[in-house]
Structure formats: structure tokens, C-alpha cells
Structure 1
Amino acid sequence: MGKGRKALIYLAIATTLLALSILFLLWSISYMERSRIATSLVSALAGFSLLSAALYALRLSAYLYGVEKSEQ
């Protein structure tokens, strides 16, 4: 792959996961307003799990970018 391409792929994946986590957390609030507690908790769990994955992918992207920059 080209220089910096892997880091950009991980950055795109992280951005997508971050958007999905925000969506799930907003759904969780919406479900809680309608007194659907179990659905709200499951949505919150999914949202926080996706947020954790997004932060890990962002960290991996920064690491790959640094490694590729140091190789130049």
C-alpha cells in the first residue's frame, strides 16, 4: 500500500465507528424518554462499545502515521 494509506483507512474506520457510537448513544436517550429502559441500556452498551473501538482505531491510526513518518 502507499505511504500513509493504512493510517487513512484506520482513520476512516474510526470516524465511522465514532459516528455510529454517537448515533447509538442518542438512540439510548430517545428510548429512555419513552420509558424503554432495557432497550435504552442495550443501546447505551452498544454505543460505549463502539466508542471504545473508535478510540482504539484512532490510537492505532496515529501510531501507524508516526511509524510511516519516521521511516521517511
Structure 2
Amino acid sequence: MMHNLCLLSDSEKNRVELDKQAAYAVWQLKNGKAGPEVFLNQAEKIADDDERAFFEQSVETYKSLMGVA
């Protein structure tokens, strides 16, 4: 199934970006490119509480998927 991301609302586009950032942060940790502080540093940059919670949930999901403790 193909989706045109340009048709998403700004809020949905932002969630896609937050999800990508979460996946990359977990990948960095798993591959020794960054320490656990990478999550805190990213989360501190997110002003909106709902977006921060979404990012943190995405981090937990990717940690589980990638086998990171």
C-alpha cells in the first residue's frame, strides 16, 4: 500500500518525523554511536507534551523491536 505523505496534516507529518527520530536514536544506541542520553537530549528539544509522549512511546517500541534494553 502506498501513501502520499504530502497529503498528511502538519501534525501527522510531525509524528512521522518524530517516529523516524526515535528509530534513529535507538539504532544509534544499539550500534554504539550514542549513549542513553540521546533519548533525553531529543526529548528535551520537543516542546509539546503530547509530541514528547509520542516520541517516548516510539522509542520504547523501537527498543523492543531492535532488542535494546
Structure with larger RCO (C-alpha < 8 A, sep 6+): 1
* Coarse TM-score class (shorter-chain normalised): 0.3 to 0.5
Larger helix share, 1 or 2: 1
